[in-house]
Structure 1
Amino acid sequence: MRKLIEARDSKQLPSDHIVSTKVKNTPHESAVRQVSGTARYVDDIPEPANLQHAAVGMSEVASGKLVNIDLSAVWQSEGVCDVILAKDVPGHIDIGPVFKGDPLLADGEIKFYGQAVFAVLAKTVQQARVAATKAKIEIQQTPSILTIKSAKKQNAYVRPPHFMKRGDTKTALQDSEHILTGSLTVGGQEHLYLEGQVSMVMPEEEDRMLVFSSSQHPSEVQKLVAEVLGIKLHKVVVDMRRMGGGFGGKETQAAQWSCIAALLAARNRCAVKLRLPRQQDMIITGKRHPFENEFTVGFNAQGKISATDINLQGNCGHSPDLSDAIVDRAMFHADNAYYYPHCEISGHRMQTNQVSHTAYRGFGGPQGMIVAEAILDAVARKVGLDPLTVRKQNLYSDFTGDMTPYHMQVHDNILPEIIAKLEESSDYWLRREKIKQFNEGSPVIKKGLALTPVKFGISFTAKHLNQAGALVHVYTDGSIQANHGGTEMGQGLHTKISQIVATEFGVSIDEVDITSTRTDKVPNTSPTAASSGTDLNGKAVQNACISIKKRLAEFFAKKVHGQAEDVVFMNNKLQLGEHAISWFEVVQQAYFDRISLSANGFYKTPKIHYDRETGQGRPFFYFAYGASVSEVSIDTLTGEYKLDRVDILHDVGASINPAIDKGQIEGGFIQGMGWLTTEELLWQDQGRLISNNLATYKIPAIGDTPKIFNVDLFEQANIENSIYHSKAVGEPPFMLAISVWCAIKDAISSLSEGKIDPPLSCPATPEKVLRCVIEMQNELDGGVKCK
């Protein structure tokens, strides 16, 4: 580790960990196909001759008991071949991914508005969707729980609360010079992947099934399809070439549609496709968890925090889904980048009659991290200091091993260096002074500025998921085919895996092909989530490559009477001293010498452990860091605002592909900005989602992108032995967008000359900004406070 730290500090990496510049500059492996429209998604697969189409009928109440279902009109509808209810499921009806609570079809009880009650099979998509509207469903309505407040009042939880504690928080708060309390409402978010939920299932010989699913977790789809049909897992093969986006929305919630399609396919011995229309997709699938958070913080006159008591309450919807781990992750990140000497953090998993909320980029981390930034803003304005000054003095120390609330030591904190560089490159303090002068002379338009950091833990918090497998074949012409358990959803995973294979064998990337993720090639895989796709699968593929390289090196070394460990693979050849042989020639010779040119690979993340009973352990292999500066302008007469400039410096370790990493950072930031500013989920009183299409749900557009958008990589080797000492880059950039929310608050606060911290909930829509501006003006005039 010491050598790696020294190499990092000197900006040099050990030579055996360098990915060549030529390989680094590789474009996305599907870029041309995606731009030209030839990239194949599930709905583009050539349809078999006997394909039928499925649709689902939904509940129109949020809570109740199924009294009667009249399907006669559905059966009589044009083109209908079959209709199924919960009673028609031969195997498991409950497809909950971790805990029970997710029936494939409503089984006597209605749990949320839009729940699938039945499924219909017809000859065309249109016929199936029309038929699904003709059922007469009689439901005895029961009182529904639609808010966290109501759930708390009725003691409704999907899982028990969880707690973390370090030090003596109660005493430390009593001894603090200043104490503040606050609350923060954090909205959910629709995934809005470009490719909606879709599956096509083809029955094969006997009871075998071939499933094409737009899923981040093919192994889970395989397991649940088998359980629903009442057959063994080895009878089901799931194939997943690529998704048109996932963002967590296809980690667990893609399985239901594959299971329904498989059930209909098995009953009718025909291929079945089920593709949800966009509006139904938005109604019937889970979102990012909305949260209601509360905090008490103690601190001194310089803004140094002494103690925190944080209460996180997540709206989980009707079932557990992944909520246990998601609220855990929110708790893990309620400190963000800051050291709390004494702290208590509680996490509550509230049950409501909404769709079961699920994984979303950051997996609860953003909902916890924003609390930390709300606390730092509140403290800074109380003591009259610039928020950046207060943030810097509360950071975890650099390489001193400060301990997190869950008792994990922070050994690799590079945030002080990142923040210092970004301060300088973004001209933070000069701009701060200019903004102050601008605001003093501008009665209507107010500007705001904020620099916020990110410290994000990388690993699945469920330890068993931190494993991956791979299969690598070298063919006799020297070409290489690799398969791994990760799924490609546009993030460039297959591209990076190709680079790893090419680097290991020292060949051109044109010699490498990554095939569809398939459960009959690499079994028992983890979902592509938690930013771990390259970390896990890259190491597994590398492990398989090393096995093949060892055989080839031993074969070549024996021929030239050298040592196998001295053989170098590079520039399409094997080199041993003065001896060299081309890659293609050695592969041919090895084949004729009956040497295996295929290998399995496996990897499991080391060092991680966590005890939920004690709330202590090391749930993460390492942390990824970053910081962003956002500048906004708000119109105090309308609440409208514009993001003027963004500067980002983000830690990617030793980047495998800087271009892809920058794309992930830019995309993650904009998506995070949408969550915090424009993407507002709205339900009416009876639990019906009314923000269910792009006319009522606003995602960021190109016009929302700042004119000045500076993104730089902080490339220093990961001190942990990740693949080529790179770092994950999928989720951490999402939380860089918290600087936008903080900048909007900064602009509003300028009305009070920075003395009042506006309690602005998320998303900070123009309506909420205007309301906050008006109520702050009232407060300054001695009226009501902003809520």
Structure 2
Amino acid sequence: MKPIAKPGNAERIEGGVSTALRHDSGHKHVTGEAVYVDDIPVPANCLAVHIAQSEKAHARILRADLSAVRAAPGVVLVVTADDIPGVNDVSPVAGDDPMFAVGSGPGTGLVEYAGQSLFAVAAADIATARAAASLAVIEYEELPALITVDQAMEANALLEPPYTMARGDAEAAIEKAPRRLSGRVRVGGQEHFYLEGQVALARPGEDHEMFVQCSSQHPTEIQHVVARVLDLANHDVTAEVRRMGGGFGGKESQGNLPAAAAALVARMTGRPAKVRYDRDVDMTITGKRHDFRIDYRVGFDDEGRILGIAFDQAVRCGMSHDLSGAIADRAMFHADNCYYLPNARITSYRCKTHTVSNTAFRGFGGPQGMVGIERVIDEIAHSLGRDPLAVRRANFYAPAGARSDRTVTPYHMTVEDCVIQPIVDALVDSADYEARRAEIREWNRANPIIRRGIALMPVKFGISFTTSHLNQAGALVHIYNDGSIRLNHGGTEMGQGLFTKVAQVVAEEFQVDIGRVRITATDTAKVPNTSATAASSGSDMNGMAARNACRTIRERLVAFAAERWQTTPDEVAFLPGRVRVGGEEIAFDSLIHEAWLARVSLSATGFYATPKIHWDRVAARGRPFLYFAYGAAVSEVAVDTLTGENRILRVDILHDVGRSLNPVIDLGQIEGGFVQGAGWLTMEELFWDDAGRLRTHAPSTYKIPTCGDRAPDMRMAIWDGGDNREDTIYRSKAVGEPPLMLGISVLMALSNALETEGGAYPALDAPATPERLLMTAERLKRAAR
């Protein structure tokens, strides 16, 4: 069989791989035509479900009197843990997230964060359910509450024992080094702030079946949790997701509770039921990005080369495990970023606090780990009086193909594909970095009030789930007898363009215009046992699964055509809109119709399991990633040292996406990721009071970046040298998460703006809000007196 036409041929299909094609639902998002779960018409008898929440951060429930709730006008049902036919647990992994705290069985009688789910009320409308829930009489015995990382560390309150990754002898190398320094950096959490909140609609079916339409990155997990709660087999539950209004990791495990609550009410009443959080509930009941306290000690030479380093990463996990184990692991995996650390020890402390259980967020711990090493690099440069870029370059891993021992990570994986050097070199030139840095230094000497800063920061981000068994995906492809194609796969669409990219793969494989490919909702009844759309692996895995399904059908078509037209399989080639068989060309539609008449199967499943990866967690060594994605950003900022007000003035980004599946979607992900990362580190501040109540729980109290916060001069480009040494889908690279970490360059630029020659290092924590910038500037002024 001859290969299909490749990208770059003069004759191209419309919308194949490498085409800058718009998001399939982009126009619907803008016009309001896109159907989200809350837009799905529901029957008149659909029940609205409200989840009552704890007012205490840590307390025993002495008495829960719900009689007034049940008697309230309009209430159809009140459910507690005692009504659950299966297991009172909605956790993704560890079995420690009770669905309801009110009840008499396991997991009840104790609340461990303010906002925790107590019970649920179902009524004809949400206002009635909410009003009724407020009538509950809950008596608590308050217990001591650990709110902060510092409190948890002091109390040795850990969800699991400390975990260490190490290579070489960090302590000895630090002690022998000619220069040493130590410090601490704090990195705040982040609210997902997806535009569409958590929502689930459950419809009961025959024979205990349950159909759940939800806003989830992990429909298979929704299926499993609902089955567990209702004491059903997985085949009794179907979960469907057409699209989400944003996810960012916040819909990987946090959709379990609303889906299970809706399904339980539907099971008990025989009526459809819907749970939809309002924004205040959503922000208080769901987990966030983990905040970190990172302590470091480093030994280095006069050129800034790191000889030995030790990190202690203390992570606020919250009241339960959720996904914290894997998130904390990934923070350790990315404590090196782009830098070779010959002697390193990284220890992680997974702190249990009486706050909401933190969860997945774009980057999955990697951004926090990178902030630690970037702070170290920045402080080394300050202590030596050197440009931080020079120190970064001195510590880079060896380039791909180089004969060097500077390739092994602290977790003993060899970095075979490092291309950060040419990316940084190209960005230094295109951004005019050196001239701008010199000009900014002169500006700051003459302007003590409005100070400017600049920083260039690289990124190396590992691609694969670090939990190895999750690296699998499935797809289902049908070709109908008119030549139209229907595509289904296990990935979910949250605005990132996954459906469009996978449809482009299918179009490319059959050499048909993308308009022939119908994208359908993710459905556990069609593709089973899927992993979450996370870890930047959506296009990698689902694209390969879809390709494999297409190739199964193509092989059948080639065999049929060769026999039908009496030639050999090598003389069959797919061309745009047609198939060449020997010396004859047949329209794709005609070939499909002929194959159907000949009883050739035109449907196939595809499967993909990521190769080469392995991880021995006990030994803390292996190959957790198939490859790395790289990028770099230069950010320039201005800070008013009298108020702390600041602006991002210009951003230059050069990012590696391999051979792009869709350049316009990739550029959108690069820009969006950067802005979200910059927002996390400069303005998005979560605040819990001493009683453990989240006070930043609405748009009025929690600030996210808006159009006005985007740099007025923003120059982004895809690196034209991009490729992938590994056999990924069309040699592309993942792009969902890596660009977020480029936002760290803004934090480093703000720190640079506050630096003075011969002055103390700013030691700026994140988020670098105006208040924190002002306090840091004042501290530096006092130190200089």
Match in the other structure for 1:519: 524
State the AA in 1 paired with 2:763. Answer: P
Matched, 1:38 2:33: yes
Match in the other structure for 2:163: 162
Give 1:559 deviation, angstroms. Answer: 2.4
Match in the other structure for 1:785: none
User: For the structure 1 residues 120 and 19, does the alpha-carbon distance in structure 2 shift closer, same or farther, using more than 3 Å as the test?
Assistant: farther
Match in the other structure for 2:359: 358
Return the alpha-carbon distance in structure 2 between the equivalents of residues 170 and 70 of structure 1.
Answer: 58
User: Which residue, out of 668, 683, 702, partners 1:678?
Assistant: 683
Matches within 5 A, 1:609-688: 609-688=614-693
Give 1:14 deviation, angstroms. Answer: 8.8
Give 1:19 deviation, angstroms. Answer: 8.6
Matches within 5 A, 1:140-539: 140-399=141-400, 400=402, 402-539=407-544
Give 1:77 deviation, angstroms. Answer: 2.0
User: Which residue, out of 689, 697, 705, partners 1:692?
Assistant: 697
State the AA in 1 paired with 2:716. Answer: V
Matched-pair contact (CA < 8 Å) for 1:159–1:320: no
User: Which residue, out of 52, 55, 61, partners 2:56?
Assistant: 61
1:292-335, Cα deviation, whole Å (9 max, x unpaired):
00100100111111110011111000000000000000000000
Return the alpha-carbon distance in structure 2 between the equivalents of residues 74 and 757 of structure 1.
Answer: 58
Matched, 1:92 2:93: no
1:659-678, Cα deviation, whole Å (9 max, x unpaired):
00000000000000110000
Matched-pair contact (CA < 8 Å) for 2:431–2:634: yes
Helix, strand or coil at the partner of 1:410 = coil
Return the alpha-carbon distance in structure 1 between the equivalents of residues 129 and 398 of structure 2.
Answer: 60
Matched-pair contact (CA < 8 Å) for 2:13–2:511: no
State the AA in 2 paired with 1:736. Answer: L
Match in the other structure for 2:105: none
Matched-pair contact (CA < 8 Å) for 1:210–1:238: yes
Give 1:20 deviation, angstroms. Answer: 6.5
Matched-pair contact (CA < 8 Å) for 1:317–1:354: yes
User: Which residue, out of 762, 771, 784, partners 2:766?
Assistant: 762
Return the alpha-carbon distance in structure 1 between the equivalents of residues 395 and 605 of structure 2.
Answer: 47
1:673-727, Cα deviation, whole Å (9 max, x unpaired):
1100000000011000000111110000111011100000014221100100000
Return the alpha-carbon distance in structure 2 between the equivalents of residues 738 and 19 of structure 1.
Answer: 40
1:222-275, Cα deviation, whole Å (9 max, x unpaired):
011011011111111111100000100010110111101111111011000010
User: Which residue, out of 76, 80, 96, partners 2:75?
Assistant: 80
Question: What runs of 5+ residues in structure 1 fail to find an aligned partner?
Answer: 1-12, 782-787
Return the alpha-carbon distance in structure 1 between the equivalents of residues 728 and 563 of structure 2.
Answer: 32
Helix, strand or coil at the partner of 2:502 = helix
Helix, strand or coil at the partner of 2:240 = strand
Helix, strand or coil at the partner of 1:295 = strand
Matched-pair contact (CA < 8 Å) for 1:472–1:598: yes
Give 1:436 deviation, angstroms. Answer: 1.2
Helix, strand or coil at the partner of 1:580 = strand
User: For the structure 1 residues 263 and 22, does the alpha-carbon distance in structure 2 shift closer, same or farther, using more than 3 Å as the test?
Assistant: closer
User: Which residue, out of 730, 734, 741, partners 1:728?
Assistant: 734
Q: TM-score, normalised by structure 1?
A: 0.96
Matched-pair contact (CA < 8 Å) for 1:381–1:755: no
State the AA in 2 paired with 1:769. Answer: L
Return the alpha-carbon distance in structure 2 between the equivalents of residues 503 and 424 of structure 1.
Answer: 36
User: For the structure 1 residues 754 and 622, does the alpha-carbon distance in structure 2 shift closer, same or farther, using more than 3 Å as the test?
Assistant: farther
Return the alpha-carbon distance in structure 1 between the equivalents of residues 641 and 414 of structure 2.
Answer: 44
1:349-386, Cα deviation, whole Å (9 max, x unpaired):
10000000000000000010111100000100111100
Aligned length: 767
User: For the structure 1 residues 15 and 550, does the alpha-carbon distance in structure 2 shift closer, same or farther, using more than 3 Å as the test?
Assistant: farther
Helix, strand or coil at the partner of 1:160 = coil
Q: Structure 1 residues 30-39 or 194-203, which shifts more? A: 30-39
Give 1:154 deviation, angstroms. Answer: 1.7
Matched-pair contact (CA < 8 Å) for 1:42–1:212: yes
Match in the other structure for 2:562: 557
Give 1:15 deviation, angstroms. Answer: 7.2
User: Which residue, out of 21, 25, 36, partners 1:26?
Assistant: 21
User: Which residue, out of 769, 777, 781, partners 1:777?
Assistant: 781
State the AA in 2 paired with 1:43. Answer: D
Return the alpha-carbon distance in structure 2 between the equivalents of residues 91 and 588 of structure 1.
Answer: 49
Match in the other structure for 1:745: 751
1:484-533, Cα deviation, whole Å (9 max, x unpaired):
00000000000001100000000000000110000000000000000000
Identity, in percent, stands at 49
Return the alpha-carbon distance in structure 1 between the equivalents of residues 492 and 20 of structure 2.
Answer: 22
Return the alpha-carbon distance in structure 2 between the equivalents of residues 292 and 607 of structure 1.
Answer: 33
Return the alpha-carbon distance in structure 1 between the equivalents of residues 759 and 570 of structure 2.
Answer: 66
Return the alpha-carbon distance in structure 2 between the equivalents of residues 166 and 498 of structure 1.
Answer: 43
Matched-pair contact (CA < 8 Å) for 2:190–2:290: yes
Matched-pair contact (CA < 8 Å) for 2:15–2:513: no
Helix, strand or coil at the partner of 1:424 = helix
Return the alpha-carbon distance in structure 1 between the equivalents of residues 48 and 195 of structure 2.
Answer: 21
Return the alpha-carbon distance in structure 2 between the equivalents of residues 48 and 497 of structure 1.
Answer: 34
Give 1:566 deviation, angstroms. Answer: 4.1
User: For the structure 1 residues 742 and 180, does the alpha-carbon distance in structure 2 shift closer, same or farther, using more than 3 Å as the test?
Assistant: same
User: For the structure 1 residues 59 and 234, does the alpha-carbon distance in structure 2 shift closer, same or farther, using more than 3 Å as the test?
Assistant: same
User: For the structure 1 residues 89 and 509, does the alpha-carbon distance in structure 2 shift closer, same or farther, using more than 3 Å as the test?
Assistant: same
Matches within 5 A, 1:537-548: 537-548=542-553
Give 1:22 deviation, angstroms. Answer: 4.8
Return the alpha-carbon distance in structure 2 between the equivalents of residues 172 and 113 of structure 1.
Answer: 45
Q: CA RMSD in A?
A: 1.4
User: For the structure 1 residues 575 and 511, does the alpha-carbon distance in structure 2 shift closer, same or farther, using more than 3 Å as the test?
Assistant: same
1:14-45, Cα deviation, whole Å (9 max, x unpaired):
979x9978531221100121111111000011
State the AA in 1 paired with 2:31. Answer: S
Give 1:444 deviation, angstroms. Answer: 0.9
4+ runs deviating over 3 angstroms:
13-16, 18-22
Matches within 5 A, 1:527-606: 527-606=532-611
1:43-102, Cα deviation, whole Å (9 max, x unpaired):
011112321110011110000111111112212222100001111111011222111210
Matched, 1:50 2:38: no
Return the alpha-carbon distance in structure 2 between the equivalents of residues 410 and 304 of structure 1.
Answer: 18
Matched-pair contact (CA < 8 Å) for 1:309–1:343: yes
Q: TM-score, normalised by structure 2?
A: 0.96
Give 1:754 deviation, angstroms. Answer: 6.2
State the AA in 1 paired with 2:768. Answer: A
User: For the structure 1 residues 109 and 566, does the alpha-carbon distance in structure 2 shift closer, same or farther, using more than 3 Å as the test?
Assistant: farther
Helix, strand or coil at the partner of 1:206 = helix
Return the alpha-carbon distance in structure 2 between the equivalents of residues 19 and 735 of structure 1.
Answer: 35
State the AA in 2 paired with 1:70. Answer: D
